[in-house]
Amino acid sequence: MRILLNILWWVAVVGSVTSSIYCGMVVVAAARFRLRRRQRERAGNPFLPAVSMLKPLHGTEPGMERNLETFFEQDYPAPYELLFCARQETDEGLQLARRVGARYPQVNARFVTCGEPMPKFHNAKVYSLAKMDSVAANDQYVTSDADVRVEKNYLREMVQYLADPHVGLASCVYLGTAHPGAGLSSRLDAVGKSVEMSSGVMVADMLEGTKFALGATMSVRRKSFQDVGGFDELGQFYADDFVLGNRLATQGTGVLLATHVIRLMVQDSPFWLSFRNQLRWMQSTRRSRPWGHLGTGLTFATPFGLVGLVWGVLSGRALLGVGWLALMVANRMVQAFAVLRAMGDSDWLNGIWLYPMRDLLGWVLWVGSYGGDNFYYRGKIYKLKEGGKVESPD
């Protein structure tokens, strides 16, 4: 028993110390991000080039109509076009985009199809981007996923980063937003996207600059795709956004973290489906940046608080164990408060109460990411290879 207690003690101590150090780093990085947001707001929006907005589509989901509408409602005085691409003309998402576009005749919107991805081109999103790239009228792009919802100043804000000719890409963090009435699993997923993801991004940007991209939305030059090997090369990776940003940064091209914040709408899904989707992203991160992902295990706090609780109960110091867990829960609440306030989330109070539970789930997902490389996506089983490349077993 003494050996077990010693192991539990040291695991709890080491994990609590590392997660507390990380929490302090997040607080500083969030304050830095908030200051940069204010500076960006004061700078105005003087750069207004002609822009092509590229949006790949595949099917529909609840709330998608409103998501699409927000892209037609942009306050942008310069010429811009909206390009939508799906695999087939019969795709429900493309048909919905057409119906929405009919209500905004003043917006230059075009709808194209790309067909099924070619063999060994497993990233269908990149395949759609390649098609839109071939027909886009402008060299400045703003790309976005179908589950993104934005404000009217979104396009104005995102293109400002391309005013610097040395910048090849800028992407932004996002507030995960569950639909009204969504269950606990979806709300945990949403707060994880808001806090866990954004914390890591803000800290990385503070320590070494941005050497990656977040694919939910990006302002990017047409040339940037070719500089990293083209769409055929990117289409072999699951985390194409990470590869794009990382390769540009390695080449010396500017890759920035924008201070604009978007909303990423999270579907109301049963726990098993939500868990599987989040696990897929964890697996991808493990393959894309293996050492950084390994170190992530020391940034969680709630699991080490639970280890401290177990140590306290088994050692006859139950009250100390309860205090240990409470301290680690408070650790995560401080982290959530710092990040959500910096991002301007009006629902921050709800987020800070949920995040300790999400922190525990995040640790479970992190552990699960080492359980294998196969994942299920849109009806097929894929395998993640070294460096984040994807292959289909069949």
What's the confidence (pLDDT) of residue 283?
83
Question: How much is the pTM?
Answer: 0.92
pLDDT at res. 45: 86
pLDDT of residue 20: 97
pLDDT given at position 29: 98
Q: Tell me which residue of 324, 300, 331, 299 sits closest to 310, measured CA to CA.
A: 324
Mean pLDDT by groups of 10 residues along the chain of 394 residues: 90 97 98 96 92 96 96 95 96 97 96 86 88 96 96 96 96 94 93 96 96 95 95 89 95 96 93 84 82 91 97 94 97 98 94 97 92 66 66 60
Q: Is the Cβ–Cβ distance between 255 and 154 less than 8 Å?
A: no
Q: What is the pLDDT of residue 376?
A: 61
Domain boundaries defined on the chain: 44-271
Q: Report pLDDT for 391.
A: 66
Residue ranges of the alpha helices (H) in the chain?
Answer: 2-43, 64-72, 92-102, 124-135, 154-159, 184-191, 198-208, 222-227, 231-234, 240-251, 271-288, 290-296, 302-314, 318-342, 348-368
The two structure tokens encoding residue 96: 């919905």
d(CA 95, CA 240) in angstroms, rounded, equals 26
Span 44-271: which CATH code?
A: 3.90.550.10
Residue 291 has a pLDDT of: 84
The pLDDT value recorded for residue 285 is 84
Kind of pairing between the strands at 108-113 and 167-178: unpaired
Residue appearing with tokens 């949006």: 55
